[in-house]
Amino acid sequence: MEIHPKLFRIDAPLRQADVVSPSFPTPLGRIDLFLEANGIELKPSSVFCADETTIFIWPEDVGAELILFRPILSLPKGMSVTDAYAAILRLTPTNHLIEGSLPTRRSKVFRCRWDEKSKWTEVGPEIGENLDAQSWTDGKTKVTVGLPDYETDTTYRRDGFEVAIKQKSQLHFVCAWSPDITDDISTWFAVDYNPK
């Protein structure tokens, strides 16, 4: 039985694609997105594409969909980024990842993590009001990943972030990059993005 997206609506026609785990390329390497329960990665069961948008669907008992796309960014005058991706994870009210639907001892997280072949050399936090962010650089390109301030549910890792799912029905990450220019905060503004 073919599963179609239920939690996201897009106008472009969808075509089914090979089932792969969510990820996207950056100049410093690939960033992978993981949905985990009790330390075990949960794999999507269906993938659909339309233009530059990809929707990943997990089995019904997981009750999750993720959309990966290039966001339209509104940056302050004089700021720009080379490119950006956004990922939104939505969970159904009856999914088995929300706190209470599985024994509370199980850890349920959404991870954003660099592939082990990535080539950044420095990492540092770039937090702000209502924003958790980190930047990685190789001295030439700066890549910033940001997400809303989920308070204590967010854990900073040297190679990315993880967010405890708990009672959330939607989570998102945004990634943007540009040349690494001293005091340029364009990527920080880019990842301070609120998807509609």
Q: Is residue 1 part of a domain?
A: no
In single-letter form, the type of residue at position 73 comes to L
Average pLDDT over residues 71-87: 95
Residue 10: inside a domain, yes or no? no
Q: Is residue 49 part of a domain?
A: yes
Residues in contact with 77: Cβ distance below 8 Å, sequence separation at least 6, in sequence order: none
pLDDT tens-digit profile of 13-42? Answer: 888 888 899 999 999 999 999 998 888 899
- 90-124 burial string, b = 16+ CB within 10 Å, else e? bbbeebbbbeeeeeeeeebbbbbbbeeebebeebe
pLDDT digits (tens, 9 = 90+) for 153-172: 999 999 999 999 877 788 99
Look at residue 43 and tell me if it is in a domain. yes
- Judge whether residue 103 has pLDDT over 80: no
- Expressed as residue numbers, the domain containing 150 is 15-191
Whether 87 shows a pLDDT value over 90: the answer reads: yes
Instruction: Classify residue 196: in a domain, yes or no.
Output: no
Q: For 42-66, write each residue's pLDDT tens digit.
A: 999 999 999 889 999 998 878 889 9
Note the pLDDT of residue 82: 97
Structural domain count, the chain: 1
The DSSP-derived string for 79-134 is ---SEEEEEEEEE-TT-SSSTTSS-TTS-EEEEEEE-TT----EEEE--BTTEEEE
Q: Is residue 6 part of a domain?
A: no
Virtual torsion, Cα 45, 28, 76, 188, nearest 10 deg:
80
Using CA atoms, how far residue 119 sits from 15, 76, 90, 115, 141, in Å, is: 33, 29, 30, 9, 11
Cα–Cα distance measured from residue 133 to residue 13, given in angstroms and rounded to the nearest whole number: 33
Rounded percentage of the chain residues whose pLDDT exceeds 90: 61
Confidence of residue 94 (pLDDT cuts 50, 70, 90): low
